[in-house]
Amino acid sequence: MKKIFFVSAYICLLTGVGVAQKRPGSKNIPISSLRLIGEYDMPHNLLFGGTTVGGLSGIDYDSKQGVYYMISDDRSAINPARYYTAKIFFTEKKIDSVVFVKVTTLLQKNGTAYPNTKQDPAHTPDPEALRYNPVTRKMIWTSEGERIVKGKDTVLENPAITIISPDGKYIDTFPLPKNLRMQATENGPRQNGVLEGMSFANGYKTLYVNVEEPLYEDGPKADTNQPRKNPVFHF
């Protein structure tokens, strides 16, 4: 989803009995519930490393380095597509501070930064989710792509799941099924409703990615006002 350029960061304290994702070299941590510690509001238009911090859409934790990785959903409009590295200091009662330590530009296959919509709308990303894999020491991020159908101004950019090195360099992209490719007809994904969230499982051997809105074939968009019929899902 689109976000204005300020952010509230949320940290949860995990306790109880369940099974948490196992980090390399660590033991399974029992979890039964989540507890909200608090929220932290960043200053509007906060500047760091020559960029405007904002639109933070995904966050992951690197336990070895003790830092958090946060991707911005800025479509290279204010600054080139990027993610931030930060340290978050908190107690059991509140978040004390968030300190940004690095900003990393996401790079295309040719090694250059991604363009904005004025420069090249067919190759402008819409970053949403970011995950760090401590086994491979690589990162994976998602883009929702673009779908603008306006005659000669039609823009169709497929969503993407991209593997990068921690310094932002392109490594590879996952092939997507045909039903996740953008189309000018009312088929496949909707605009700004594709690859929104992502999570590892099975010791980082499996990656789950969620679609934010139903595909055209699966029924109408999500609506909190109107009752919906049972959807028919297409795979």
DSSP labels, 152-205: GG-EEE--EEEEE-TTS-EEEE----GGGS--SSS-SPPTT-SEEEEEEETTTT
Cβ–Cβ < 8 Å for 87, 98 = yes
Q: Is residue 64 part of a domain?
A: yes
pLDDT at 4: 29
Q: Is residue 1 part of a domain?
A: no
Residue ranges in the chain modelled with pLDDT below 70: 1-28, 226-235
Reported for 171-175, long-range contacts at CB under 8 A and 24+ positions apart, including other chains, are 171/138
pLDDT at 11: 35
* Count of other CB atoms within 10 angstroms of residue 231: 12
Half-sphere exposure of 166 (CA within 13 A, CB side): 14
**What's the token pair of residue 77?**
């409009």
Q: Is residue 152 part of a domain?
A: yes
Cβ neighbors of 229 (< 8 A, separation 6 or more) are 219
Cβ–Cβ < 8 Å for 102, 84 = yes
Q: pTM of the full predicted structure?
A: 0.83
pLDDT at 228: 57
What's 124's DSSP letter?
-
Q: Is residue 231 part of a domain?
A: no
For the chain, the domain total comes to 1
Q: Is residue 57 part of a domain?
A: yes
Q: Is residue 223 part of a domain?
A: no
- Greatest Cα-to-Cα distance within the chain, rounded to the nearest angstrom: 57
Q: Is residue 93 part of a domain?
A: yes
The domain of 61 spans: 8-218
